[in-house]
Amino acid sequence: MVRNTSDYKQKISSLLEDPAYRKLTKDPTDAIERKTTLLLKKSSLTEETRRQLCPAGSRPPRMYGLPKIHKEGIPLRPIVSNIGAPTYQLAKHLSGLLSQLTGKSAHHVKNSFHFIQILKTLKIKPGDLMVSFDVVSLFTKVPVEESLTLLSQHFNKEILSLYKHVLTSTYFCGDSFRLLAL
């Protein structure tokens, strides 16, 4: 589906009116890169791992919107591409640590195919209701401190400081706007 540029820019602007976002006066990329490097140097990760995770020549994450064609008014789903950002490699590494913990809950769903398999096994009685919830702006609603508290049950303070850095260094730019942060 082809959309006109002014409609796209208006929808992006509308998304960014959320008070969760704030405008930045300067690009934090270099400062975040330096802090990431410092945290990694202080860590007890292996020299090889630190070298692989250490950022160099970083650029700001880019935000764009994908149309939700199944929704009335065709709103945009915000996507932030973090590739090349100062915390990109570190976030990938930390994601790998988290993935070791997933799947251990009885309520874990791997993907939509797995979800369909689960639904096929359910015995629904007359009068039972199935509901679906649509979360709006999920990422901006994640409570960072509560998330860190949960992570502290599985990771030491050093690794927690890396998670905190990644979770609190969120910013992005786009074609029609300057730098913004959460």
The answer to whether residue 122 sits within a structural domain is no
The answer to whether residue 9 sits within a structural domain is yes
d(CA 98, CA 118): 23
The answer to whether residue 81 sits within a structural domain is yes
Residue 134: predicted pLDDT: 77
Residue 15, H or E segment: helix 5-15
Range(s) of the domain holding residue 26: 5-104+132-181
Alpha helix segments (H runs only) across 16-172:
29-42, 47-53, 88-99, 112-121, 138-141, 144-151, 157-168
The answer to whether residue 142 sits within a structural domain is yes
Q: Which residues of the chain have pLDDT under 50?
A: none
Residue 182: predicted pLDDT: 65
d(CA 85, CA 30): 10
The answer to whether residue 37 sits within a structural domain is yes
The answer to whether residue 127 sits within a structural domain is no
The answer to whether residue 92 sits within a structural domain is yes
The answer to whether residue 172 sits within a structural domain is yes
Looking at the structure of the chain, the number of domains it has is: 1
